[in-house]
Amino acid sequence: MNIPKFNRNLGKVISQLRDKIAPVLPNLVALSGVQILNAVLPLVMYPYLLRVLGVEKMGIVFLAQALCQVFTQWVDYGFSNTAVKKIAQTSRLLDLRNEVANAVLQARLVLLVTGTIVYGAVVWAVPAFRAHYHVFLFSYVLVLGQALLPYWFFQGMEKMKFHALMNLISKIISLVLVFVFVRQAEDTYLVNVLLGLSTCTSALAGLIIMITSYEFRFSGVTYGRIRSELLEGAPYFASNLLMAIGNSTVIFLLGIFRGPLAAGLYGMAEKIMQALRAGVIIVYQALLPRLSALATISFSEVRRYFQSMFPLFSAVFVIVAVGIQIAAEDLIRLFSGGVFEQAVITLRIIIWAPLLSLWSVPFSQIFVVYDLRQSYFTACLLAMIVGVIAAALSIFSFGITGAAIGMLLIELTSLLSLTMALRWRYPHYSLIQV
């Protein structure tokens, strides 16, 4: 073996990888801080809540959070894609940037108002939700906070340190409020209210930073401008909403047909899994601005970028998932204060969902950066329909364990749908070369 030649080649590979990571490193670090906080908070807060409220009451809280997550996608619309792209393109043009920011903020407020009406109707129409209507109605503060949160502005400006600061403020406040005010089972309705109020505080801090550091000024925009933003983001909105519904369907079906206790057992495993899924969000948000720039050069650059980065990301996710599988029983005991065998089994299954979600990132980002909105919606619709049907059959057959299998099926159908859509409809954008 030629050692000097091997060392030179290894050094070259490391240098190339460093050059590719360097442009996104500041955002990657900031987003890592955001998502680490998002991952650590449940591991600190929910063990306390499970001991104070019990598994069944927490099942109600988890159900309300899942419903709010769907309506969070409603107010987020497609702005996590379209607004980020527009802010990035107008980052040096103050007037145009302010126009975009005002249009997005006001469009989100319109969506918040319409979403409030639909949310109330859903809570009233579903008996399992209506039985705990006070928890569900108070939980809508979570959606309010998300509607006001200007994370998309800082992502587009590639200044995610401010998003990290907003997130830190929110998490510290929420932790303090929960420990101070939630002291008995009767306080169940307060949990999501306090989490939502902390997000509202974070959103206010973000708006203040926009005004003081980026010369943002509030101004009215025309109905036509808001309508234009909504129409442009519609395919992404539909796609994101479908995926949110698909992911929430698992716990909805458990809560409706198996009761809050089953939702609580599944929910505690899901919260641990989401600590790993936070890494997928880091990867997606950190890479999108860079990929948008590479896409203007050539698709070959985009493909090479993915091929150089994702084997490393995948290896990290596999190592962490294996570790969590091995320690699943201890993690559930630490998380809940007891040993719940069904929760342990659930965790050992769903811990592989983030890896499937990670593998979907390159394909979904191709649709975004090349503006293949309609095809993206079609692929997501197909994935949601097939995945939800498979998940429902799995839940009805195997209960809580079936719910965990159903989550994997939803992620797998999403990955396959996006992959095949690119391969068959846009072979020139396919990442898989045969």
Q: Which residue has the higher pLDDT, 130 or 79?
A: 130
433 lies in some domain: no
Q: Give mean pLDDT, residues 17-24.
A: 52
**pLDDT for position 231:** 82
Q: Phi/psi of residue 373, each to 5°?
A: -65, -45
Torsion of CA 376, 382, 387, 390, to 10 degrees: -170
Cα–Cα distance list, 185 to 57, 134, 181 (Å): 7, 14, 11
327 lies in some domain: yes
Say how far apart CA 243 and CA 237 lie, in whole Å: 10
Say how far apart CA 158 and CA 230 lie, in whole Å: 23
pLDDT at 139 over 90: yes
Burial 72-96 (b: 16+ CB within 10 A, else e): bbbbbbbbbbbbbbbbbebbeeeee
6 lies in some domain: no
**pLDDT for position 141:** 94
Say how far apart CA 42 and CA 165 lie, in whole Å: 19
Kindly indicate the confidence band of residue 17, based on its pLDDT and cuts at 50, 70 and 90.
very low
Q: Can you say how many angstroms the Cα of residue 216 is from the centroid of all Cα atoms in its chain?
A: 27
**pLDDT for position 137:** 93
**pLDDT for position 348:** 95
Residues 379-402: pLDDT tens digits?
888 888 888 888 888 888 888 899
Q: Counting every residue, how long is the chain?
A: 434
Kindly indicate the confidence band of residue 149, based on its pLDDT and cuts at 50, 70 and 90.
confident
1 lies in some domain: no
> Residue 343 corresponds to which tokens in the numbers above?
């929760």
Q: Which residue segment(s) compose the domain that 101 sits in? A: 17-424
Sort 2 into a burial class: Cβ within 10 Å, 0-12 / 13-18 / 19+.
Answer: exposed
**pLDDT for position 14:** 47
DSSP E strands: which ranges in 282-355? none
429 lies in some domain: no
- For the chain, the average pLDDT equals 83
pLDDT at 10 over 60: no
- List all residues 6 or more positions away from 279 whose beta carbon is below 8 Å from its beta carbon: 35, 313, 316, 317, 320, 354, 358
> Residue 382 corresponds to which tokens in the numbers above?
């197909």
12 lies in some domain: no
Find tokens 């950066």 and name the residue: 369
pLDDT at 247 over 50: yes
Kindly indicate the confidence band of residue 8, based on its pLDDT and cuts at 50, 70 and 90.
low
Give one DSSP letter per residue of 241-295, joined into a string: HHHHHHHHHHHHHHHHHH-HHHHHHHHHHHHHHHHHHHHHHHHHHHHHHHHHHHH
432 lies in some domain: no
DSSP one-letter code for 220:
-
Residues 182-226: pLDDT tens digits?
999 899 999 999 999 988 988 888 889 889 888 888 888 888 888
pLDDT at 151 over 90: no
pLDDT at 359 over 70: yes
The highest-confidence range among 152-161, 237-246, 321-330, by mean pLDDT, is 321-330
**pLDDT for position 138:** 94
How many structural domains are present in the chain?
A: 1
What percent helix, strand, coil does the chain show, rounded to 5? 90, 0, 10
Rounded percentage of the chain residues whose pLDDT exceeds 90: 24
Q: How many C-beta atoms surround the C-beta of residue 28 within 10 A? A: 19
Say how far apart CA 188 and CA 183 lie, in whole Å: 9
Contact 406, 400 (CB under 8 A): no
- List all residues 6 or more positions away from 333 whose beta carbon is below 8 Å from its beta carbon: 339
Q: How many C-beta atoms surround the C-beta of residue 149 within 10 A? A: 25
